[in-house]
Chains A and B, each alone.
Chain A
């Protein structure tokens, strides 16, 4: 069933139920009230009648009778039954005379009063003692109100109920149909967007409601998708270019060498050059493989608890071998006193590789100017900042630095093929960390790496 019909059905059922409960309770309470009220009226009449019939004070009785006739409305089919009761036999006679059940008469005699309904006629009786004589007075009348007014009320409620239910049904259907209009619109529009026209966006409305948020979310999703598409396109062209350059030079060298007979020395030189190009190819394909491997978020990796400062020292040792002229300064002025605040859970090789990548970049693009590495630790994460004074990254290109094979426009004089940073980011991501790069062209780049601390529990130390 469509959500639309579900909503409509729910609204109809809920409203109908409430209406029926409302109508029924109005009818029920009024019905109850009209009966108790009517018996009360009859009871009053009975006692008044008894008063003016049997009161010993005649003058008083007369005035009561006059008041009753003048002011009390005559009920429909109102009748009085009065009898003097001396013995049990009188009760029987009275019952026969008034054609009432004996039990009712007895009830009045014993309790002093009683009520009875026979079809539409209502009886209310009272016992009256005048001197040593006992009288029973029974007033009967038809409850005009109950028979006519309540019937009318019932009709009104039933007709009204059907009328309102009809309105509810039509409103529910209308409402449930149109509340989904915006969503249906979005569905239609999103259907139209395919890989060919992924630049299309949904129209953003200015209202701030759930629908516009949905549209915004969709548009953001499309933005990311488009970027991913672009990245993929760039990746293929960049990758083929990176692979193509060494291949072309290998083919060229070999071609030239094969043109005519060469001296062994020339062959050696050619082969040497081919070898170095092939090595470069090998390096590229290996780092690509590594990038792909770190891209999967699988738990195959060995995570252990490691100290970040050790990792940095190791990375520095590796750099010392690779780039002996480096000027990396490690600043421990903010190193926490508690060594637990340096421990993160991670893969040693991968983290070292990540730091080596960032440090190599810092040294390479600054022509071995000073690189400052600081370590600090807050209560939740270790923060490592690597600051260089290199050529920087143009602001407009900062968003592309994580694309494989992307190289900033000012890096032509430096060797590299643009896999280091994406790889580093993948590694940091595996460790649930953050990599923040901020840069000013020709001033330098600062890379902040934040890795969450290991949470210690149980062994008495909690951070």
Chain B
């Protein structure tokens, strides 16, 4: 059966090293991958009125990041069922638990040493992830490929 895994990202190609190593561990079974970027929701009413997750993701997206995803897709073509980028706007562990439940996440992979390089309004989801109760795997990497 396909597994759903979640990886926190910061739209730097480097943060995808977690995904690369997670896939390496997991390369037999099929996986649905959810790349999660956590960001506080805007306070402005007009912004909320015209809220579009796609647009927010597009505004953060870089060509390097896109290319890195396509490299990984090509590398693990048979085991990757889908890759999606999702935004998480919650403020507390409960909302994160709801998020996990809604997306039916089986495992979360987080980097051990790497700290996410957050942009404006972004926040670090690691405390929520650790308290969420879902199985969390810490991954450590020494040599990085994606650092451009």
Residues of A in contact with B (beta carbons under 8 Å apart): 331, 333-338, 341, 372, 374, 376-380, 383, 385, 448
Minimum CB–CB distance for B18 against chain A, Å: 14
Q: A333-B24, A374-B145, A385-B145 are in contact. Are A338 and B77 (CB under 8 A)?
A: yes
Minimum CB–CB distance for B69 against chain A, Å: 8
Partner of B71, one of A331, A338, A378: A378
Contact B20 A334 (CB under 8 A): yes
Minimum CB–CB distance for B70 against chain A, Å: 4
Contact B75 A376 (CB under 8 A): yes
Minimum CB–CB distance for A433 against chain B, Å: 14
Q: A333-B24, A334-B145 are in contact. Are A378 and B75 (CB under 8 A)?
A: no
The 3 closest A-B pairs by CB, nearest first: A336-B74, A378-B70, A376-B71
Chain A CB within 8 A of B67 CB: yes
Residues of B in contact with A (beta carbons under 8 Å apart): 20, 24, 67-68, 70-78, 143, 145, 148
- A238 to B136: give the CA distance in the assembly, Å: 60
Given contacts A376-B75, A378-B67, A378-B71, 17 further A-B contacts (CB under 8 A): A331-B145, A333-B24, A333-B75, A333-B145, A334-B20, A335-B75, A336-B71, A336-B74, A337-B76, A374-B145, A376-B71, A376-B74, A377-B71, A378-B74, A383-B67, A383-B71, A448-B148
- A selection of 23 A-B contacts at a CB cut-off of 8 Å is A333-B24, A333-B145, A334-B20, A334-B71, A334-B72, A334-B75, A335-B75, A336-B75, A336-B77, A337-B74, A337-B76, A337-B77, A338-B77, A341-B74, A376-B71, A376-B74, A377-B74, A378-B70, A378-B74, A379-B70, A379-B73, A379-B74, A383-B67
- A380 to B63: give the CA distance in the assembly, Å: 12
- A338 to B67: give the CA distance in the assembly, Å: 16
Minimum CB–CB distance for A383 against chain B, Å: 7
Contact B74 A338 (CB under 8 A): yes
Contact A337 B75 (CB under 8 A): yes
Residues of B within 8 A of A376 (CB): 71, 74-75, 145
Partner of B78, one of A337, A379, A380: A337
- A376 to B17: give the CA distance in the assembly, Å: 14
Residues of B within 8 A of A385 (CB): 145
A385 nearest in chain B by CB position: B145
- A377 to B70: give the CA distance in the assembly, Å: 8
Minimum CB–CB distance for A449 against chain B, Å: 13
Minimum CB–CB distance for A19 against chain B, Å: 46
Minimum CB–CB distance for B65 against chain A, Å: 11
B66 nearest in chain A by CB position: A378
Residues of A within 8 A of B74 (CB): 336-338, 341, 376-379
A332 nearest in chain B by CB position: B75
- A305 to B70: give the CA distance in the assembly, Å: 22
B145 nearest in chain A by CB position: A374
Residues of B within 8 A of A448 (CB): 148
Minimum CB–CB distance for A32 against chain B, Å: 53
Residues of A within 8 A of B77 (CB): 336-338
- A248 to B114: give the CA distance in the assembly, Å: 57
Residues of B within 8 A of A338 (CB): 74, 77
Residues of B within 8 A of A379 (CB): 70, 73-74
A331 nearest in chain B by CB position: B145
- A334 to B20: give the CA distance in the assembly, Å: 9
Residues of A within 8 A of B70 (CB): 378-380
Minimum CB–CB distance for B13 against chain A, Å: 11
Minimum CB–CB distance for A173 against chain B, Å: 49
B21 nearest in chain A by CB position: A333
Minimum CB–CB distance for B96 against chain A, Å: 31
- A379 to B78: give the CA distance in the assembly, Å: 16
Residues of A within 8 A of B68 (CB): 378
Minimum CB–CB distance for B112 against chain A, Å: 19
Residues of B within 8 A of A378 (CB): 67-68, 70-71, 74
Residues of A within 8 A of B71 (CB): 334, 336, 376-378, 383
- A377 to B75: give the CA distance in the assembly, Å: 8
B72 nearest in chain A by CB position: A334
Minimum CB–CB distance for B139 against chain A, Å: 14
Residues of B within 8 A of A372 (CB): 143
- A335 to B76: give the CA distance in the assembly, Å: 9
- A236 to B72: give the CA distance in the assembly, Å: 47
- A350 to B145: give the CA distance in the assembly, Å: 27
- A405 to B75: give the CA distance in the assembly, Å: 39
Minimum CB–CB distance for A398 against chain B, Å: 16
Residues of A within 8 A of B67 (CB): 378, 383
B20, B67, B74, B75: most-surrounded residue (chain A CB, <10 A): B74
Residues of A within 8 A of B20 (CB): 333-334
- A341 to B75: give the CA distance in the assembly, Å: 10
- A372 to B147: give the CA distance in the assembly, Å: 14
Residues of B within 8 A of A331 (CB): 145
Minimum CB–CB distance for B129 against chain A, Å: 26
- A338 to B72: give the CA distance in the assembly, Å: 12
- A338 to B145: give the CA distance in the assembly, Å: 20
Residues of A within 8 A of B78 (CB): 337
Minimum CB–CB distance for A415 against chain B, Å: 31
- A140 to B76: give the CA distance in the assembly, Å: 101
- A322 to B41: give the CA distance in the assembly, Å: 60
Minimum CB–CB distance for A427 against chain B, Å: 22
